[in-house]
């Protein structure tokens, strides 16, 4: 992230604001999901978050925690919406 290296293990969620130079090295045998959120949508999310979304942030927790289960459900819904490629995704995806 920028000029620093951050190490982390799953489950972890990171938020990277626009303009922050970043890249990730994923170990063999693991997977990662990347969701890009438009600046306007991220600004809306920031109003409902305790996380400082105006700078790089990582958060992790026990994967059994209910919030992680809800996040997994939302990511599955987003993936399904893209996979089905139905009309109206521009209306459905922001609600997720």
pLDDT of residue 75: 83
Sign of CA dihedral 36, 15, 4, 63: negative
Task: Give the distance, in angstroms, between the CA of residue 59 and the centroid of all CA atoms in the same chain.
Answer: 11
Q: Is the pLDDT of residue 95 over 80?
A: no
Average pLDDT over residues 18-23: 86
For residue 37, is the peptide bond before it cis, meaning its omega torsion is within 30 degrees of 0?
Answer: no
Average pLDDT over residues 6-27: 82
Q: What is the pTM of this model?
A: 0.61
In the chain, beta strands by DSSP E: 12-15, 57-60
Taking only the tens place, the pLDDT of each residue in 29-71 is 887 787 888 888 888 878 888 888 888 888 877 666 787 788 8
Mean pLDDT of the chain: 80
14 strand-pairing partners: 58
In this structure, what is the dihedral angle of CA atoms 73, 78, 79, 84, given to the nearest 10 degrees?
Answer: 120
């Amino acid at each position: 992230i920028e000029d620093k290296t951050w190490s982390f293990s799953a489950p972890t969620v990171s938020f990277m604001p626009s303009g922050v130079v970043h890249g990730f090295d994923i170990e063999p045998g693991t997977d990662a999901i990347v969701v890009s959120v438009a600046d306007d949508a991220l600004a809306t999310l920031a109003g409902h978050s305790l996380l400082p979304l105006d700078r790089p942030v990582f958060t992790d927790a026990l994967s059994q925690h209910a919030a992680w289960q809800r996040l997994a459900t939302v990511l599955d819904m987003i993936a399904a919406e893209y996979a089905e490629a139905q009309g109206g995704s521009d209306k459905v995806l922001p609600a997720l």
